[in-house]
A and B are shown apart, each in its own frame.
Chain A
Amino acid sequence: MNSHLILIIDDEVQIRKLLTITLHSHKFQVIEAASGKEGIALVSTKVPDLVLLDLGLPDESGHVILKHLREWYTNPIIIISVQTHEEDIIQALDNGANDYLVKPFRTGELLARIRSALRKAGGEPNISVAAFTDLSIDFANRIVKKNNIVVKLTATEYALLSLLARNDGKVLTHQYLLKQIWGSSHQNESQYLRVFIAQLRKKIESDPNRPSYINTESGIGYRFTGNKTLL
């Protein structure tokens, strides 16, 4: 089913080699670019299904390349960075990156992120019901079930859960969630978000202290993971 074409934009030969071997062994097709300029050229000629973009490129900052690509390229872009600075990651996500990985990362994690991004891009049909391991969300009727038992959620809790679940596998930043759920006038009231996340976890997680669905991304936001193979 694979044979998706993936473009790696990274100036480090070793990293490109490692990624190429890993991706080949999982039946992906790979093309490589060592600079931002080369990367942009390859995106426009080959139109890959997904781009892995390093933020620290020699010719131009990955942020600039990302912005440039997003003017017309709509397939997933996953950021790879040695920077653990949260601002950097948040900026990339705000500029249209679908996901991020911080070097060093495990290949299992890389593959999971790539699959998740490709699945989303493949345009999951307008599903009315999403079913996960022990959780199901009926978007049409606004019904959430845990182990086949209906979970009572407040309107805000439901809005938050459905937003997260519809973006299964994707990090949503604190700012994005606040804006979507509470509107732009509440963008600085992140304490509500913390409280509602805690409440949601109590209702839908088997162990709220070890959440399997709603994961905290330190200093960045939250990521819903529907399939347990992630992380």
Chain B
Amino acid sequence: MKQFLFKTDTQKQFIITITVVLSITVIALCLHHFIGYRVVAFMFLVGVSVLAMFLDIVPVLLAAFLSALIWDFFFIPPRFTITVGTPEDRLHLLMYFIVALINAVLTNKIRRMEKSIQDKDEKEKSVLFYNTLLNSLSHELRTPITTIIGSTDNLQANSNQLSEKDKVELISEISIAAIRLNQQVENLLNMSRLESGIIQIKKDWCDISDLVYKTLQRLDSNLAKYSVSVEISEQLPLFKLDFGLMEQVIFNLILNVTQHTPEGTRIIIQAECIHNKLMLSVTDNGNGFRENEIHRAFEKFYRLKGSPTGGTGLGLSIVKGFIEAHNGSITLENLSQGGSKFTILIPTEKSFVNGMHNE
């Protein structure tokens, strides 16, 4: 298959080469009474140089050779013979051929060098990506796994020495670790869905209020010590969104707030319709982000300094990915009065049927 593609690609290059050289020949034949046969050589040289920028070495060499031959045969007096009249023109032809060759070879060399640098860059980038991924994974997955294995070992081996209270505590540790493990796996699956580009958005009418409260319910235990308020007008239209993806977006955003702000922080969730777009924001009155880190918050694997353990640094990049899958945007800013604010803007269809009267 690959060979087949390669073959057709080479054939295509030869066809392009011949077409370009013959086209220049035709144009030059029309013009050479006005410009003289020496200028024709420059026209061919331009053609060969342009071909060298895009094609492989062999077709370009063919172009150099073919154009030299055509120049000689059709243009250099005596015309329509291979013979070259004057020693001056003989020198011209030789120089033309050498310049065309150097041009072809050098351009090709530069292109090869560029390509190898690019390959190296890409390879380094992906090595860095996987190193970060593996580091993050080995820590964030192994910690809960260690807890589970250690706790079960204890329960199996020292069952007699353990007090009832210890046993209850170990079991609760296993439970916490398992939930944490599940969250990490969920994040990784979402990330790989984004990376592979197979995310399929399934838009349907969403009641934003239902979406927000449903997500908050899932976060009940995380939010027990926070004061949460939701500000959504009853007149807010319905919007067409992927309910599942948006649920994950709001979940990750709020979970992120609880990880970076002290207990007792106030969290406000607002939704509005602004210029045909859905605006959804999450505001807190915590400590805000460091100015030098704020622009990196959505980066994959980036973890803010002093972050508590238990995150992979994937949460916010998944948020960004899911919002972009909706063709929307998300911004993060520190507020002058303290705290920070995430603002989501999504252009999408809306419906005001909820404003109408019953039936």
Residues of A within 8 A of B (CB): 84, 86-87, 104, 154-157, 174, 190-192, 194-195, 197-199, 209-210, 216, 218-219
Binds A, one of B3-11, B40-48, B200-208, B283-291: B200-208
Smallest CB gap from A86: residue in B = B244
* A158 → chain B closest CB, angstroms: 11
Whether the Cβ atoms of B207 and A218 lie closer than 8 Å is: no
Q: Which of B29-37, B209-217, B313-321, B331-339 contacts A (4 or more CB under 8 A)?
A: B209-217
Q: How large is the interface on B (under 10, 10 to 19, 20 to 34, 35 or more residues)?
A: 20 to 34
Give the tally of cross-chain contacts (CB within 8 A): 55
Given known contacts A154-B359, A194-B238, A218 and B205 CB-to-CB distance under 8 angstroms:
no
Q: Is A216 a contact of B214 with CB atoms below 8 Å? A: yes
Which residues of B are found within 8 Å of A174, using beta-carbon distances? 204
Q: CB of B172 within 8 A of chain A? A: no
A216 CB contacts on chain B under 8 angstroms: 210, 214
13 A–B pairs (Cβ distance < 8 Å), ordered by A: A87-B202, A154-B359, A155-B359, A191-B238, A194-B206, A194-B207, A194-B354, A195-B354, A197-B210, A198-B354, A199-B358, A216-B210, A218-B244
Q: Which of chain A's residues has its CB closest to B230's CB?
A: A209
CB < 8 Å neighbour of B243 from A198, A199, A210, A218: A218
* Distance A87 CA – B178 CA, assembled complex (angstroms): 27
In the complex the two chains form, what is the Cα distance from A194 to B214 in whole Å? 14
* Chain A residue contacts of B210, Cβ below 8 A: 194, 197-198, 216
Q: A191-B353, A219-B243 are in contact. List 13 more A-B contacts (CB 8 A).
A: A84-B244, A104-B178, A156-B358, A191-B354, A194-B205, A194-B207, A194-B210, A195-B354, A209-B213, A210-B213, A210-B217, A218-B214, A218-B247
> Chain A interface mostly helix, strand, loop or mixed?
helix
Min CB distance, B250 to chain A, in Å? 11
B242 within 8 A of A: yes
Closest Cβ of chain B: how far from A155's Cβ, in Å? Answer: 7
Q: How far does the alpha carbon of A195 sit from the alpha carbon of B357 in the complex, in Å?
A: 10
Distance (Å) between the CB of A56 and the closest chain B CB?
15
Alpha-carbon separation in the docked complex, A204 to B243 (Å) = 24
The distance from the CB of A85 to the nearest CB of chain B, in whole angstroms, is 9
Asked if B135 is an interface residue, CB under 8 A from chain A, the answer is no
Check A209 against B209 for contact (C-beta < 8 Å).
yes
Most B Cβ at <10 Å: residue of A155, A192, A195, A210:
A195
Cβ–Cβ contact B217 & A219, under 8 A: no
Contact of B182 with A by CB under 8 A: yes
A155 to B359, CA, bound (A): 9
CA distance A195 to B199 in the complex (A): 28
**How far does the alpha carbon of A86 sit from the alpha carbon of B203 in the complex, in Å?**
12
B352 → A minimal CB distance (Å): 9
A-facing residues in B179-212 (Cβ within 8 Å): 182, 202, 204-207, 209-210
Please, how many angstroms separate the alpha-carbon atoms of A219 and B210 in the complex?
Answer: 12
* CA distance in complex: A192, B238 (Å): 10
Q: Does B348 contact A (CB under 8 A)?
A: no
Cβ of B146 within 8 Å of any chain A Cβ, yes or no, is: no
